[in-house]
Amino acid sequence: MDDYQQFIANVKRKTGIDLAQYKEAQMKRRLTSLYEKRGFKNFQEFFKAMEADRTLFHEFLDRMTINVSEFYRNAQRWEVLEKKILPKLIDRNRRLKVWSAACSTGEEPYTLVMILSKFLPLSQISVLATDIDENAISRAKLGVYVERSLQEVPEEMKKKFFTKEGTYYKIDESIKRAVTFKKHNLLADPFDTNYDLIVCRNVLIYFTEEAKSVLYHKFNKALRPGGMFFVGSTEQIFNPSSYGFEAEDTFFYRKMG
Ligand SMILES: C[S@@+](CC[C@H](N)C(=O)[O-])C[C@H]1O[C@@H](n2cnc3c(N)ncnc32)[C@H](O)[C@@H]1O
């Protein structure tokens, strides 16, 4: 077994995270640059050190998870959600079951709640938000952001739901209350069912084709018929019908049936 394959096996044993399901060249490059920066010669040395040093282990997790996010990321897509997708979903069912999968530091589920609040009272909104990375989840729960991540937030929403504290922006408690955060590994943990809307953006690009295909099936099963799957702006599904989806708009897929 080569150095990286052995590392994959060790990480899986230690954390349950299966790096083999992430695109190899990209992940290997990211992790190699980290261990070189920290002065190790190969993955074996790096893993040994990681086992003894929690900070290094967290650095590894940080490097492999890629937490970049922002509010209203690709704003035009959120407009499609608001103008075209949500009115139809809400027409059928006012108690929407919504999941933000791989939610990172919270910008995505909080964006969802802000948009949903245009249709429903906040007390009726509930979004499940999950990520594999506990650090990201802690930051999401804190709800404090730098100005840059608010660039796309409409002015009215910024006024209504954020408080400026020094150079930071704090999201309102009323928005926070509508989101339940949980740790969840998309590649290993079971999915709940009967969702009206699943948002999973900018994480599938890191996975192998096989892993992606398994996940499309699982997301399809997790939706109720007519439910909607919203993917990232580089993550178009090329053969949606083979997973039980039909394209409703670019980057939005409806569960058939
Ligand atoms: C680039 S961020 C995307 C955040 C947000 N969805 C967005 O589009 O702005 C990718 C997120 O996927 C998470 N992630 C990576 N592998 C995962 C897995 N196997 N299960 C769940 N989340 C995962 C990372 O921790 C990271 O927070």
CA distance linking residue 160 with residue 158, whole number of Å: 6
CA distance linking residue 212 with residue 229, whole number of Å: 14
Q: Is the pLDDT of residue 1 over 90?
A: no
DSSP secondary structure letters along 41-87: SSHHHHHHHHHH-HHHHHHHHHHHH-----TTSSHHHHHHIIIIIHH
- pLDDT range class, residue 227, cuts 50, 70, 90: very high
Which pLDDT belongs to residue 249?
A: 96
For the segment 160-175, the average pLDDT, to the nearest whole number, is: 97
For the segment 224-232, the average pLDDT, to the nearest whole number, is: 97
Q: E strand or H helix at 150, and its extent?
A: none
For 135-148, what is each residue's pLDDT tens digit?
A: 999 999 999 999 99
Pocket test of ligand 1: the residue of 15, 127, 201, 203 to mutate, having most ligand atoms within 8 Å of its CB, is 203
For 49-90, what is each residue's pLDDT tens digit?
A: 999 999 999 999 999 999 999 999 999 999 999 999 999 999
Atom of ligand 1 nearest to the CA of 136: 27
Q: Is the pLDDT of residue 12 over 90?
A: yes
Instruction: Check if the beta carbon of residue 202 is closer than 8 Å to that of residue 235.
Output: yes
Which pLDDT belongs to residue 257?
A: 82
* Angle separating helix axes 134-142 and 54-65, nearest 10 degrees: 80
CA distance linking residue 65 with residue 236, whole number of Å: 21
Which pLDDT belongs to residue 93?
A: 84
CA distance linking residue 127 with residue 86, whole number of Å: 14
Which pLDDT belongs to residue 94?
A: 81
For 230-245, what is each residue's pLDDT tens digit?
A: 999 999 999 999 999 9
Pocket test of ligand 1: the residue of 27, 30, 65 to mutate, having most ligand atoms within 8 Å of its CB, is 65
Q: How many CB atoms lie within 10 A of CB 156?
A: 10
Atom of ligand 1 nearest to the CA of 133: 25
Distance 63 CA to ligand 1 centre (A): 12
Query: Domain segments of the chain: what residues?
Result: 3-64, 75-141+174-255
Q: Is the pLDDT of residue 184 over 90?
A: yes
CA distance linking residue 37 with residue 177, whole number of Å: 40
Measured from CB, residues less than 6 Å from any atom of ligand 1 are 65-69, 73, 102-104, 108, 131-133, 136, 185-187, 201-203, 232
Distance 68 CA to ligand 1 centre (A): 9
Q: Is the pLDDT of residue 166 over 90?
A: yes
For the segment 164-172, the average pLDDT, to the nearest whole number, is: 96
Cα 250 → chain centroid: 19
Strand pairing report for 252-255 and 245-249: antiparallel
CA distance linking residue 249 with residue 236, whole number of Å: 10
Average per-residue pLDDT in the chain? 96
Please give the CATH architecture assigned to the domain spanning 75-141+174-255. Answer: 3-Layer(aba) Sandwich (3.40)
pTM score over 0.85: yes
How is residue 236 annotated by DSSP? Answer: -
